[in-house]
Chain A
Amino acid sequence: MIEIRGLTKRYGPLTAVDNLWLTVERGDAMGFIGPNGAGKTTTIRMLATLLKPDAGTASVSGHDIQRQPDEVRGKLGYMPDFFGVYEDMMVWEYLDFFAAAHCVPRSRRPGLISDVLELTDLGHRRDDSVNSLSRGMKQRLCLAKTLVHDPDVLLLDEPASGLDPRARMEVRELLRELCKLEKTLLISSHILPELAGLCNKIAIIENGRLVTAGSVDEIQSQLQGGTKLIIRVMDGSAECCAHLAALPAITQVGETDGRIEAIYQGAAGEEWQVLRELVNSGFRVRGFTEEEIDLEGIYVRATRGLGSDG
């Protein structure tokens, strides 16, 4: 479990992380979302005891990051956003080194290494050179080394960034596996859909400040309080948009290629009244459906509505 209490980091005049309060419960997988430069990496590096906070503190598995850094490092698996690999080294040697660096005795290492290789689906590359691996495989290898000492808490900084779609899929699959492992995860990303369906909690950060945090559903209702309606009409979609915009229950309307999207924020369960209004006004409605608002929508709304003023 991770408890962040008022963490602050300044770089000269810039406050990269500004009084951040956040708790990730044991077993939770939290998506840590924010645009580039929001302060995600800075926060994660402070949690990984690699950067000293200017104010505030945090604890990982009950150990304070400043007073008990060694205990924290023992409990923690950290994957940086950018990393290199050693040349002229075999996959198993790489993992062996990191196990040794975490004080895992020699006799226990082979078992642990084959476990993480199996989990990351790299078992067949055990004796290959680290350099011969593809970008996606290197990313998975880095995840494997993050797991090799069986940490309770994983801090993964943009684990799927800079990958081609296929490798991204593979890493996503692996992350899904990790989420099942009874570990506490904090996964950062600047792309929200990347974490959709993976995480059960979301925290959104911008300009070093927490915009919002909570379960995916909570955030959805908190920010949204409504539903998205997808409407199609036979003709006159422009007039339809204008008509919709005039309705008090509709807060936002947009149209692309005859597909009208409207955000409904009226009373729940009363969306049919919009349909009745349209039909009564003479629009020949062809389709009227309700759509789950995706995480990207939340993200855009959250950072647009709340983040830009600060």
Chain B
Amino acid sequence: MVETLDRLLYTLLHFNPAVAWHELRLRMRVGKAFVLLGAYVLLAALAVVLPVVFTAWERTQYGGGMPATDLGRVGLHALTYVQLTLIFIVLPAYAASTIAAERERQTLEMLRATLLTPWDVVTGKLLSVLAFGVILLATTVPVAAWCLLLGGVSPTEVLRVYVILLMTACWVSALGVLMSAHAGRAVAAIVSTYGVILGATVLSAAAVYAFFMWTMLSMHGGTPILGAGVATLAVGVAVIATAVVTAALVRWLAGRVRPLRRAAHNGLLAVALVIILIGVLMTVQMPLVEKLSTAAPTALLLVNPYAGAAAVLEESAARELISSTTPTGRGTPAADLNGYVCATLTWLYLVAAALLWIAAVQRYARHSAT
């Protein structure tokens, strides 16, 4: 049966699943994996129980007989954000150590001398990381079911949350494997993956801020405001500081900065400079800025995973996100705003994961060709 599967994968996709099977076999055996799983469920459950209990207690104290039918919503929100955070903590460490650790432990040479192609190796590693991600998510399904029982949320909403979490796991894993294909040491790969995720979150938060400033300025009728410009400059400085600190951390841990990390570093600096430039323009040349597309800076909002999750969960957040990213004049795209956001983000994350995956295969192939 499995042999047929192997052969099918090979003939149809030219994929040799040896690495995928091998990784799964290895990873699932280690006791650490189960300790991690246990800790994960415990944290997720705790994160749900505490706010639910607190809200319930608060209501009995001050609510004055308010119906407690939407406690499930409180729980689901907590579960979503906590799981998102846990995915960002667990999966990069797991994914980034795959290829780099083999390089470090001198097992990669022998792997490269086999008939396995870069596509086999990278895809196999990615699939094993994803499988672990799916297992992590599956363990919290009972907690989600409990939220459903508490009321206030529909099964569709729970399903959407899990779809978004799964898609996030996809791109985080692909990013980790890319860094792993690139780095010489596992710890460097892990730190760079954390760095990129942190960078993306901080950058998009900066964009959110910029959008906020933008709307505020528009309400002022387009006159330059010194305070807004200065605050934007401050954001730029904060972004640069993040970039510098991340780069320093990577350099300290990895011994030296490799070209890609330097590129990521430079990219971060460039974005920061653009933000500063916008800040300067806002302060001195408002009419010119107004002519630029309103959609461009706010599109970055989509990069922030927390903003995305919020828009999937709450209608008001979805409305905000859609109105800020769709050019004015087009009507509301769908009656179900959360569903629309969920579909868009799924598509976006999948594209991101696919691109990172292809980059990882290429990076591994090039690393091997020297």
Contacts and interface: CB of A to CB of B under 8 A. Distances in A.
Contacts of B109: 50, 80, 83
Given A101-B16, A105-B6, A83 B113 contact: no
A283 B338 CA distance: 109
Nearest to B103: A84
Interface stretch (A70-78, A182-190, A204-212): A70-78
Q: Can you list the 6 inter-chain pairs with the closest CB atoms, starting with the nearest?
A: A100-B18, A101-B114, A84-B105, A84-B106, A106-B3, A78-B113
A144 interface: no
Interface of B: 2-3, 6-7, 10, 16, 18-19, 21-22, 25-26, 29-30, 105-107, 109-116, 368-370
Contacts of B107: 83-86
A86 B22 CA distance: 10
Given A88-B29, A101-B16, A107 B3 contact: yes
A157 to B, nearest CB: 10
Contacts of A85: 107
B26 A88 contact: yes
B21 A76 contact: no
A82 B26 CA distance: 22
A247 interface: no
A51 B116 CA distance: 16
B110 A78 contact: yes
Given A78-B113, A84-B106, A100 B22 contact: yes
Contacts of B2: 106
A107 B6 CA distance: 11
A88 B30 CA distance: 7
Contacts of B111: 101
B115 A74 contact: yes
Interface string A115-142: 0000000000000000000000000001
A158 to B, nearest CB: 14
Contact of A50 (B6, B10, B19, B113): B113
Given A51-B370, A89-B26, A102 B114 contact: yes
A49 to B, nearest CB: 7
A98 B109 CA distance: 12
A268 interface: no
B364 to A, nearest CB: 13
A203 B296 CA distance: 66
A232 interface: no
B7 A105 contact: yes
A89 B370 CA distance: 30
B223 to A, nearest CB: 61
Interface residues of A, number: 31
A52 B113 contact: no
A52 B369 contact: yes
B3 A102 contact: no
Interface of A: 48-52, 70, 73-74, 76, 78, 80, 82-89, 93, 97-98, 100-103, 105-107, 142, 145
Given A50-B109, A100-B21, 14 more contacts: A50-B112, A51-B370, A78-B113, A88-B29, A88-B30, A89-B26, A97-B21, A97-B22, A101-B18, A101-B111, A101-B115, A102-B115, A106-B3, A142-B110
A102 B6 CA distance: 13
A52 B368 CA distance: 10
Nearest to B117: A70
B342 to A, nearest CB: 38
Name which of A93, A100, A101, A103 has the most chain B CB atoms within 10 A of its CB.
A101
Contact of B110 (A74, A89, A106, A145): A145
A105 B3 contact: yes
A184 B3 CA distance: 32
B12 to A, nearest CB: 15
Contacts of A142: 110
A84 B21 CA distance: 19
Contacts of B370: 51-52
B115 A83 contact: no
A107 B2 CA distance: 10
Nearest to A103: B115
A101 B17 CA distance: 8
22 contacts: A50-B368, A52-B369, A73-B113, A78-B110, A80-B109, A83-B107, A83-B110, A84-B106, A85-B107, A86-B107, A88-B26, A88-B29, A89-B25, A93-B25, A97-B18, A97-B21, A97-B22, A98-B110, A100-B18, A103-B16, A106-B2, A145-B110
A213 to B, nearest CB: 25
A87 B30 CA distance: 9
A106 B6 CA distance: 9
A50 B115 CA distance: 12
A304 B26 CA distance: 50
Nearest to B4: A106
A87 B3 CA distance: 25
Contacts of B3: 105-107
Contacts of A74: 115
A155 to B, nearest CB: 9
Nearest to A89: B26
A87 B25 CA distance: 11
Contacts of A103: 10, 16, 115
B188 to A, nearest CB: 18
A57 to B, nearest CB: 16
A213 B352 CA distance: 55
B113 A48 contact: yes
Contacts of B106: 80, 82-84
A201 to B, nearest CB: 23
A246 B301 CA distance: 93
Most buried by A among B19, B105, B115: B115
Contacts of A145: 110
Contacts of A50: 109, 112-113, 368
A142 B109 CA distance: 12
